[in-house]
Chain A
Amino acid sequence: MAVKFQDYYESLGIPRTASPEDIKQAFRKLARIHHPDVAKNKVAGEAKFKEINEAYEVLSDPEKRRRYDELGENWQEAGRGPTAPGGNRGRPRAPGDESDFEFGGTGFSDFFESFFGSGREGFGSFRRSAGSMDDEGASAHQGHDVEADLLVTLEEALRGSRRKVTLRRTAGNGTADRTDTYQVRIPPGVREGQRIRLAGQGGTGVGGGPAGDLYLRVRLARHPDFSVQGSDLHFDLDLAPWEAVLGVQVKIPTLDGPTTLRVPPGTAAASRLRLRGLGLPREEGGRGDLYATVRIQAPTSVSEEERAAWEQLSRVSNFKPRKPS
């Protein structure tokens, strides 16, 4: 099966030497353009959004980025090696045991799934292990459980959705491929790492044994504005120094559309302003909160007039940001 190499640096339009901050900036910039909620061309926007999410998922994690960089040009050899993450791809296996799985509609490429996904072999995963390979010769045994990642946007996590996921099973022994299409219902309030079970859709059982299950593991898509902590969302609110001192009304994005937030006078940096009930659904009912964390930004260059005003302020102000040491 053809696994296509994904150039994650190209996806984000950054050089291979990009710093973690460069990667974050590039992702946020592109995510604002291609986010499914704002993209002009929905279909193309969605495809691009998934692509940059996948790229960011790998490049924002130093360990995954290191592995990706090491793969480099030799990724195909790495994929075929017996000890590599995707080592079992395409190898003949026990009767009834599909040699390969190819997912569609999960939001992740087969390349990602092979090298960085939940379903890859190794510690903490059992893509094709449960119930299959260790009791060869025993009479009937259950097919293995299969696991794959499912990209879910925050909007989907808020409102729930239906997704079409395809699974193509390539049998190694010359029998026909089989493609199943599932309408997967994503419940509102789905959490990062949560698994959605499709009973009996995993590996085929051997000797009349039952089939294994298919588990889709939810990976919440990175949002250009919000980060997720449980059912709460966090947003960085950039303010000018005078806005923090004098107070201001600012328009901020939420998953429910833009809203106006009143910043009280005398707001310190790192203050968290809570917008109740604008987070994700809670397991116990209701919704989490949206927190706007204040970051005070200073201008890096000023005009003569501005400089004069700041200088005057520095003369008249009693404010002391540091405790006397």
Chain B
Amino acid sequence: MSDSDFAGPRSLARVRVISSSPSVYSLESAAQIAGVHPEMLRHYCRLGIFGEARAQPGTEPTFDDDALYELRRFEHYRRHLGVSRKAVRLIFGLLREVERLQAEVRFLRGP
């Protein structure tokens, strides 16, 4: 527990040092964090939804923070919003395309 100037009288202030990089997760730990069975995640990778870019032949794909974020969101849509895997896959394709286009537009608008 540490004191800090922005904490009011009713506040609890805590200071944590978080090392945020470089985060690389194995398939097993990514599956655990996202709450999916490792076999299911392997299946997703085989379908090309996750991990394909980083997979070396003969090795299991690894996951970074972005991939983990997407995987968690994927599972959220599927489980809690009742969206089928096929539909989530489509949504993800669209989201990635939107992000790519946003970055391109940002570049074209210039500084």
Does B22 reach chain A (CB closer than 8 Å)? yes
Chain A residues, Cβ within 8 Å of B16: 180-183, 201
Closest to A193 in B: B99
Chain A residues, Cβ within 8 Å of B76: 126, 129-131
**Nearest Cβ on chain B to A110's Cβ, whole angstroms:** 13
Q: Is the CB of B65 within 8 A of A195?
A: yes
Q: Is the CB of A198 within 8 A of B8?
A: no
Query: Which A positions have Cβ atoms within 8 angstroms of B?
Result: 24, 27-28, 31, 60-61, 104, 124, 126, 129-131, 134-135, 142, 145, 166, 168, 176-187, 192-199, 201, 213, 215-216, 222-229, 234, 236
Q: Is the CB of A183 within 8 A of B18?
A: yes
> Which one of A27, A134, A223 has the highest number of Cβ atoms from chain B below 10 Å of its Cβ?
A134
**Nearest Cβ on chain A to B28's Cβ, whole angstroms:** 16
Closest to B99 in A: A193
Q: Is the CB of A124 within 8 A of B98?
A: yes
**A236–B17 Cα gap in the complex (Å)?**
40
**Nearest Cβ on chain A to B95's Cβ, whole angstroms:** 6
Closest to A105 in B: B6
A-B contact pairs, 28 of them (CB 8 A): A24-B111, A104-B6, A126-B76, A129-B76, A131-B76, A145-B73, A168-B6, A176-B11, A176-B12, A177-B8, A177-B12, A178-B11, A179-B6, A179-B7, A179-B12, A180-B14, A180-B15, A181-B13, A181-B14, A182-B16, A182-B17, A186-B20, A187-B22, A195-B69, A199-B33, A224-B111, A225-B111, A227-B110
Q: Is the CB of B12 within 8 A of A228?
A: no
Q: Is the CB of A227 within 8 A of B107?
A: yes
Q: Is the CB of B103 within 8 A of A192?
A: yes
Closest to B104 in A: A229
Q: A186-B21, A225-B111 are in contact. List 11 more A-B contacts (CB 8 A).
A: A124-B98, A130-B72, A134-B81, A142-B35, A176-B11, A177-B11, A178-B13, A178-B14, A181-B15, A198-B20, A234-B110
**Nearest Cβ on chain B to A76's Cβ, whole angstroms:** 23
Chain B residues, Cβ within 8 Å of A124: 95, 98
Chain B residues, Cβ within 8 Å of A234: 107, 110
**A168–B12 Cα gap in the complex (Å)?**
9
Q: Is the CB of B21 within 8 A of A177?
A: no
Chain B residues, Cβ within 8 Å of A227: 107, 110-111
> Which one of B2, B18, B72 has the highest number of Cβ atoms from chain A below 10 Å of its Cβ?
B18
Q: Is the CB of B99 within 8 A of A24?
A: no
**Nearest Cβ on chain B to A131's Cβ, whole angstroms:** 7
**Nearest Cβ on chain B to A220's Cβ, whole angstroms:** 9
**A197–B106 Cα gap in the complex (Å)?**
24
Chain B residues, Cβ within 8 Å of A192: 103, 106
**A28–B19 Cα gap in the complex (Å)?**
34
Closest to A154 in B: B111
Does B68 reach chain A (CB closer than 8 Å)? yes
Q: Is the CB of B80 within 8 A of A131?
A: yes
Q: Is the CB of B65 within 8 A of A197?
A: yes
Chain A residues, Cβ within 8 Å of B20: 184-187, 196-198, 216
Chain B residues, Cβ within 8 Å of A195: 65-66, 69
The proximity string for B residues 29-68 relative to A, scoring 1 for CB distances below 8 Å and 0 otherwise, is 0000101000000000000000000000000000001101
